[in-house]
Amino acid sequence: MRALYTAVLRLALPLVLVRLWWRGGAEPLYREHIAERFGHYRQDRLEPLIWIHAVSVGEARAAEPLVRALSAELTDHRILMTCTTAAGRATLKQLYGESVLIAWLPYDLPATVRRFLEYFRPHLAIVMETELWPNVLAQCQRYAVPVLLANARLSEKSARGYRRWQRLSRPALGSLAAVCAQSAADAERLRALGAAHVEVTGNLKFDVTPDADQLAAGRAWRAEVARPVVLLASTREGEEEPLLAAASFNEALIVVVPRHARRFDDVAKRAQSRRSRSRLPAAGDRVFLGDTMGEMAFYYGACDVAVIGGSFAPLGGQNLIEALAAGAPVIVGPHMYNFAEATRLALRAGAAAQVADAAAAMRRAADLLANEAERRYMSAAGRALCAAHRGATARHVAACRRLLEFEDGARTTPER
């Protein structure tokens, strides 16, 4: 089955490259270091090396406490971080600067992955959340590189997809040396699909601390705006229009922050001003576009209510934990299956409200704007929830240590 998958991927590669170049028109990073996607690197290759793959922005941010902890505790190892998206690479650079090596993950072809592994020779691979590539995992097994699936989550919807392709997915999951699952439900679904050595470690995102300077800057900005602020956070295509159409409040400013930078110009057509061009909105502006990357803590600090995007269409939602940690009262739509456990906890704690559709979200936002006591309660509940669920980082580091100790004892394979 993997041979068929590889053949199809090879046939699709020209289209993949065309799309890569096309996306580079809006996000130039896609056109940089293309050779890395084929396993050709000019990076330093210091050893020993721990490799962490974070596909895009959310995974890069989720990995931050683990990266910091591993760098502090395993001082004899360097960290290599790979990603797939331009926004992910920009986020890695912003978060870690020169403290880690950064590269593109190679395309999932046996030869490209072999070149990557032979060049960097990682002692441990850590894959964030659900980014499983069959040839990457097969080649890691061949080169005796243990792979840890970190902060692992698997919704029931995704599990159904894995079951349809189990001849491909079961060997991939079975090759994992360890799995650190976010919840018991995630762990059970992963075990049922063939993963072994699964433990429940909690969600690393609870260990992420919002940038204090950005939070303070957001609050100062909100004071200057001098009117209520409703944030539409990490919105996806097709969500802004119904949310904006349903907003009946007149005094509040609506700040829209799209999930992807390539959509900024399109969403700007619905806004009267944008952060990249105006520090503050004009007094009569109804919609302000947050078209800057890496500033979500600023936007959460600036808002009175946060409506989480990706949840009003069947897209699985976006990370609500960052909003909770910043003390923002949260509203989510019906589709939060990628963050099911965090959503369940937030709803139970009274830190978030879940609604049926965009119109209900904006009605709930209006109710919250009129009820300061409820906003204060939700804000405190969100912060308390995040504090209560910290600790996943230490459990992940312990799993990494066990794998490194085992790998040190087994490092006799001829391929290394």
The tokens describing 346, both together, are 């937030």
Determine the Cα–Cα distance for residues 176 and 125; give it in Å rounded to an integer: 10
> What residues contact 92, with CB distance under 8 A and at least 6 apart?
54, 60, 81, 83, 100, 102
- Helix (H) or strand (E) segment spanning residue 373: helix 372-388
The CA-atom distances, in angstroms, between 226 and each of 3, 221, 288 are: 61, 9, 14
Q: What is the dihedral angle through the alpha carbons of 308, 322, 176, 120, rounded to the nearest 10 degrees?
A: 110
The tokens describing 397, both together, are 């580091």
**Do 206 and 228 contact (CB within 8 A), yes or no?**
no
Q: Can 59 be counted among the known catalytic residues?
A: yes
Selected catalytic residue, list 27, 36, 47, 59: 59
Determine the Cα–Cα distance for residues 416 and 401; give it in Å rounded to an integer: 20
> What residues contact 354, with CB distance under 8 A and at least 6 apart?
331, 332, 333, 334, 336, 343, 347
- Helix (H) or strand (E) segment spanning residue 378: helix 372-388
234 φ/ψ sector (left φ>0, alpha ψ -120 to 50, else beta): left
CA 60 to chain centre: 6
Phi, psi of 352 (to 5 degrees): -145, 160
Active site residues: 59
